[in-house]
Amino acid sequence: MTRTIGIDIGGTGIKAALVDVDSGELVSEKIKVGTPEGAKPADVAAVVAQLVEQLDPHGSLPIGACFPAVIIDEVARSAANVDKSWIGTNVGELFERATGRLVHVVNDADAAGVAEVRFGAAKGVSGLVLVTTLGTGIGSALIYNGMLIPNSELGHINLPGSRWQTAEKRAANSARLRRRLSWTRWAERLQVYYSTLEMLFSPQLFVVGGGVSKDYAEFLPLLELTTPIVPAMHFNNAGILGAAALAPFSHNK
């Protein structure tokens, strides 16, 4: 069994657990705490250190953390629902100083994509897999033959139609709720989005995550695509699992 610590950091909550990255299973209780008010770097790092000590007291397991930002070489290049002072912060170094552990940081949607490819709905699928998370915005992950192509940010593409709005503004689950769209009307917007992605990328498989994926039967059958499209398997734990799978030296026993 290969264990690492997976941590999923969001604007309102932080989740963490020990993960067996051979099987993709949580091997501890999942701890959930509120994100410190303001979500500033030092405060979040302190919570991360507390969670790590709680899960692996006096141990040395490496950490994989996912974070709501574009991450390049461990540095946050954006900040979604967290303090803007994260921009330019080396998140990996910050967490390593706080925990005394090896840490790898990845974008949250990318972590969800890795979880689905290694342990979930896309396991064993070769070629290009495109994972999307439908929520307040739209997250995306591109994985080609098991290798992550990071920071795709495909929720920000413009969609054809009135005013050429971004996919997030037109087709996120928040748009469905805000406009009180029926499943059918929302599926019409999703059809434009996924047809556009299909034209641009020709993936082998679409995987749809986010909390609304539990209601997949209400909208996925309404989409007409050449590419198979399936619901995610790990939407609640995807961030933890994917981040843990990418933790440094996670192959060590």
Residue that is written with structure tokens 């933790």 in the block: 247
Residue 173 lies in a domain: yes
Quick: pLDDT tens for 185-201. 999 999 999 999 999 99
- Among 209, 177, 40, CA closest to 112: 209
For 59, the 3-state DSSP assignment is coil
- 134 lies in some domain: yes
Q: Evaluate whether residue 116 is within a structural domain.
A: no
User: What would the mean pLDDT of 190-216 be, rounded to a whole number?
Assistant: 96
Q: Are residues 170 and 217 in the same domain?
A: yes
42 lies in which domain range? 3-110+237-245
Integer-rounded Cα radius of gyration of the chain: 18
At 81 the pLDDT is: 84
Whether the per-residue pLDDT at 253 is higher than 60: the answer is no
Same domain as 197, residue 131: yes
- Measured CA to CA in angstroms, residue 170 lies from 16, 87, 165, 200, 245 at distances of 32, 27, 6, 18, 32
Give tens-digit pLDDT for 12-53: 999 999 999 999 999 999 999 999 999 999 999 999 999 999
Buried b (16+ CB within 10 A) or exposed e, 6-41: bbbbbeeebbbbbbbbeebebeeebeeeebeeebeb
Element at 106 (helix H, strand E): strand 103-107
Report the CATH number at residue 178. 3.30.420.40
**73-88 pLDDT tens trace:** 999 999 988 999 999 9
Backbone angles phi, psi at 110, to 5 degrees: -65, -40
Residues 90 and 138 in one domain: no
